Amino acid sequence: MDELFRIKDLSMAFGEKVVLENIDLTIRRGEILAIIGPSGSGKTTLLRILNFFEKPTCGSMKFDGMDIREINDIRRRMSLLFQTPAIFNTSVFDNVAYGLKVRGVDKKAIEKKVGVALSIVGLSGMEKQKACTLSGGEAQRMAFARAIVYDPEILLLDEPTASLDPANVAKIEDIIRRVRDELGTTIIIATHNIPQVRRIADRVGILLDGVLIEVNDKEKIFAAPDDARSEAFIKGEMVY
């Protein structure tokens, strides 16, 4: 098994409030790992910590076998698509190019990379349109392009399809599969959508009240989960 990321004994508290407790999680290179759990269970907080937006209260994180404190360019190697992405009041092109511009990438390379990213998300030809005039589904795909434009090794997706219609959900799921299959990107997706987990995940982690109660292969977790609470959550019997 090729480990890309290893999280050990990670906990997070905001003041007195413990939001994540003793998380142990290994992320494998090239996998699609779904993190599921009720609202408020800590999914977004976990993704924000993995992306170094938030510093955990305690715990260790290793990336590619190295302690993350030893890696300078780690932020460049991952990307987080927010639960509610911000859209800049500029063109689609400029929205997607933003991350490359701040990294000082030259103009020719920016044009090429933006073109590739827009083609992956099915928005080729819409470069000049004002981003704020896009439909909800198009806006989400544009945000997706912005997240993948600098070829991250890890892509963190926070409920990327939560407010979309079925057609756009299918498109985003297709894009997720393609990014993994064609670019080899490791993908972690927080989602409420159990059928989506069945469709796209390789492995699944279940987060309840800040505790990762089970991480298993998708087939195993749907057929015979180790924890009775996993089964209740997956079947929709859990009241929350």
Cβ-closest residue to Mg ion? 44
Distance between CA atoms of residues 194 and 197, nearest Å: 5
- Candidate segments 38-46, 113-121, 136-144, 224-232, binder of Mg ion by CB under 5 A: 38-46
Name the helix (H) or strand (E) containing 48: helix 43-50
- CA angle 81-170-118, nearest 5°? 55
Half-sphere exposure of 111 (CA within 13 A, CB side): 3
Nearer to ligand ATP, 120 or 189 (CB): 189
Kindly report the three-state secondary structure assignment for every residue of 86-146.
CCCCCEHHHHHHHHHHHCCCCHHHHHHHHHHHHHHCCCCCCCCCEHHHCCHHHHHHHHHHH
User: Among 35-43, 90-98, 195-203, 213-221, which window interacts with Mg ion (CB under 5 A)?
Assistant: 35-43
Residues making contact with ligand ATP (CB under 6 A): 14, 17, 19, 37, 39-45, 83
State the minimum distance, in angstroms, from the CB of residue 45 to ligand ATP.
3
> Minimum distance from CB of 164 to ligand ATP (Å)?
16
Q: Site mask, Mg ion, residues 41-70, x = CB under 5 A? A: --xx--------------------------
Q: Contact region for Mg ion (CB under 5 A) — 39-47, 69-77, 91-99, 201-209?
A: 39-47
Stretch that binds Mg ion, among 36-44, 96-104, 133-141, 168-176 (CB under 5 A): 36-44
Shortest distance, position 222 Cβ to ligand ATP, whole Å: 20
Contacts of 138 (CB under 8 A, 6+ apart): 123, 126
CA 198 to chain centre: 16
Which residues contact Mg ion by CB under 5 A? 43-44
